[in-house]
Amino acid sequence: MQHILAIDQGTTGTTVLVLDEQLNVKGRGYCEFAQIYPQPGWVEHDPDAILASVFDALGTAVRQSSVADGDWAGIGITNQRETVVLWDRKTGKAVHNAIVWQDRRTSDWCAARIAAGEQDAVRAATGLPIDPYFSATKLAWMLDQGDLRQRAERGELAFGTIDCFLVFCLTGGAHHVTDVSNASRTLLFDIHKMDWSDTLLEQFNIPRALLPEIAPSAGEFGKVRSVASLPDGVPITGIAGDQQAALFGQACFTPGDAKCTFGTGAFLLMNTGSTPVPSTNGLVTTVAWQIPGEKAYALEGSAFVAGAAVQWLRDGLQFFESAAEVEAMAQSVPDSGGVVVVPAFAGLGAPHWRPNARGSITGLTRGTTRAHIARATLEGIALQNVDVLRAMEGDSGRSLAILKVDGGAAANNLLMQFQCDVLGVAISRPELLETTAIGAALLAGLGCGLWPSKAAIAKTLPEERAFRPTMTPELVQDHLARWAKAIDANL
């Protein structure tokens, strides 16, 4: 029996799974690491702490699995996207803390570029807006610290997103390579030419000598060397950014297939096929993956707050002690009693893009209880996703047939049924909710030949539960109308 090791390097911690050919989990490890906040709006990670978390989780998962040295087929990596690492090519040591995707230190720089009229050309090439979220402006800022730019121009330094940094470290510095899905999140990658853009490199003042090789998402990226718990020579055969990995892990292989990952926020992606679809509705166009004989693009939209809204009920309002209690509390009332919660605690994302919007609760009466607010909060999580998915349908020209869901909050049956009702489409929930890591494993299995095709992969992904719409059209329209009114008041 051959096994795949899946490394899911996230924003707050690293999960490692060992999976057999039937995707049975044979070992699991998890390790958190510290967040660093040097100033308001700045978010950093210590790259050494990231590496330590990977090796810790990897060791735990491998020990649990008891897999023999000769039974490793390949390794898959998925990662927090856009986060920037800069390191010394000779020593492998980072020369600055990683700047995290959440970091906003380059907001003024981005605003100046947009005011100068550069937005349209950048979006046309990359599918992305000029925004601090993406890698290029973070990297440009980092290079202006000390002598880093001079060292970069001399070829002494290497840049990468987290996947690239991990491959370099896991292979003993032998390989400096990233995959197309991660490259497409940097603002330096032309999604039409599928290569780094000299025009964008000049525009953002990034030396080309820093950049990694770009490879497809499935195939050999290098072999591990001197890694505790693993024999030398195990190949790394699959890489994708976390949301693209979740799209692949949900077997969203056909144009029009869509998934929503319910985590701290809600991340929605729709497969748009072999041609990038530009958005006119405030979404992002991105590379989904490239595998032998195929490349796929996706439309992406994010709601900044999803599971974090339940954490707010728990920690901020102290409605309950455990987030898992929200479902029972919300189910204790038949409806929200007219209460609408807009969970815009970090502004409104796609398709509204109102960074200054704030959370709101409307429709309160003397009869309102904690249960009504809890139910309205779950409903607000689902209703903001309706806005994103309708924008995706408008951009893609495709009607959504089914939404595949994953992430921690996808276990909430009340939330899933309401999401299904207000969308008016079926929802499919898989047995394995860790689809980000599963997607990395599947790409790795495809890259090393463990699975011969996407069709073979799809057979390994059983559904745990399907949800079907049950709400009357009149009640759906009532919910949507109250939501639209609450959003208009917020804007």
Task: Tell me the per-residue pLDDT of 409-421, one tens digit each, with 9 for 90 and over.
Answer: 888 999 999 999 9
**111: CB partners within 8 A, 6+ apart:** none
pLDDT in tens, 305-359: 888 888 889 888 889 888 888 999 999 999 999 999 999 887 777 788 776 778 8
pLDDT in tens, 261-300: 988 788 999 999 999 999 888 899 999 999 988 999 999 9
Portion of the chain with pLDDT greater than 90, in percent: 68
Q: How far apart are CA 102 and CA 390, in angstroms?
A: 26
Q: How far apart are CA 261 and CA 81, in angstroms?
A: 15
Position 27 confidence tier, pLDDT thresholds 50, 70, 90: very high
SS (H, E, C) the chain: CCEEEEEEECCCEEEEEEEECCCCEEEEEEEECCCECCCCCCCEECHHHHHHHHHHHHHHHHHHHCCCHHHEEEEEEEECCCCEEEEECCCCCECCCEECCCCCCCHHHHHHHHHCCCHHHHHHHHCCCCCCCCHHHHHHHHHCCCCHHHHHHCCCEEEECHHHHHHHHHCCCCCCEEEHHHHCCCCCEECCCCEECHHHHHHHCCCHHHCCEEECCEEEEEECCCCCCCCCCCEEEEEEEHHHHHHHHCCCCCCCCEEEEECCCEEEEEEEECCCCCCCCCCEEEEEEEECCEEEEEEEEEECCCHHHHHHHHHHCCCCCCHHHHHHHHHCCCCCCCCEEECCECEECCCCCECCCCCEEECCCCCCCHHHHHHHHHHHHHHHHHHHHHHHHHHHCCCCCEEEEECHHHHCHHHHHHHHHHHCCEEEEECCCCHHHHHHHHHHHHHHCCCCCHHHHHCCCCEEEEECCCCCHHHHHHHHHHHHHHHHHHC
Q: How far apart are CA 167 and CA 77, in angstroms?
A: 9
pTM for this one?
Answer: 0.88
Please compute the mean of the pLDDT values over residues 440-450 and round it to a whole number: 93
Portion of the chain with pLDDT greater than 70, in percent: 99
Q: How many CB atoms within 10 Å of residue 155?
A: 11
Indicate whether 459 pLDDT > 90: no
- Least confident among 202-216, 258-272, 472-486: 258-272
Q: Identify the residue with better confidence: 290 or 102.
A: 290
pLDDT in tens, 108-137: 898 899 999 999 999 999 999 888 889 999
Main-chain dihedrals φ then ψ at residue 129, nearest 5 degrees = -80, 160
Position 182 confidence tier, pLDDT thresholds 50, 70, 90: very high
pLDDT of residue 241: 96
Q: Residue 307's closest CA among 406, 437, 429, 389?
A: 406
CATH code matching the domain that covers 251-491, chosen among 3.90.700.10, 3.30.930.10, 3.30.420.40, 2.40.30.10? 3.30.420.40
Q: Are 32 and 45 in contact, with CB atoms under 8 Å apart?
A: no
Main-chain dihedrals φ then ψ at residue 438, nearest 5 degrees = -60, -40
Tokens 């790409």 correspond to 443
List Cα–Cα distances, 468 to 26, 119, 327, 426, 427, in angstroms. Answer: 33, 41, 19, 5, 7
Residues of CATH 3.30.420.40 domain(s) within the chain? 3-233, 251-491
Q: What does the angle CA 394 – CA 399 – CA 402 come to, to the nearest 5 degrees? A: 130
Position 23 confidence tier, pLDDT thresholds 50, 70, 90: confident
pLDDT in tens, 232-266: 999 999 999 999 999 999 999 989 899 999 887 88
Position 217 confidence tier, pLDDT thresholds 50, 70, 90: very high
What token pair was written down for 114? 């947009």
Q: Are 51 and 7 in contact, with CB atoms under 8 Å apart?
A: no
Q: How far apart are CA 310 and CA 325, in angstroms?
A: 10
Please compute the mean of the pLDDT values over residues 188-210 and round it to a whole number: 94
pLDDT of residue 286: 95
What is the chain's alpha carbon radius of gyration, rounded to the nearest angstrom?
A: 22
Indicate whether 491 pLDDT > 70: no
pLDDT of residue 191: 96
Tokens 């799209």 correspond to 247
Q: Residue 382's closest CA among 363, 358, 356, 405?
A: 405
Cα four-point dihedral sign 433, 434, 435, 436: positive
Q: How far apart are CA 179 and CA 184, in angstroms?
A: 9
Q: How far apart are CA 346 and CA 309, in angstroms?
A: 11
Please compute the mean of the pLDDT values over residues 139-150 and round it to a whole number: 94
Main-chain dihedrals φ then ψ at residue 430, nearest 5 degrees = -80, 165
Q: Ramachandran region of residue 337, left (φ > 0), alpha (ψ -120 to 50) or beta?
A: left
pLDDT of residue 446: 92
Q: What does the angle CA 87 – CA 89 – CA 95 come to, to the nearest 5 degrees? A: 25
Indicate whether 158 pLDDT > 70: yes
Please compute the mean of the pLDDT values over residues 42-48 and round it to a whole number: 92
Q: How far apart are CA 265 and CA 246, in angstroms?
A: 14
Indicate whether 431 pLDDT > 80: yes
Q: Are 349 and 302 in contact, with CB atoms under 8 Å apart?
A: yes
pLDDT of residue 45: 93
Query: What fold, for 3-233?
Result: Nucleotidyltransferase; domain 5 (3.30.420)
**79: CB partners within 8 A, 6+ apart:** 8, 9, 10, 161, 162, 163, 166, 182, 239, 241, 242
Q: Which stretch, 169-178, 258-267, 431-440, has highest mean pLDDT?
A: 169-178
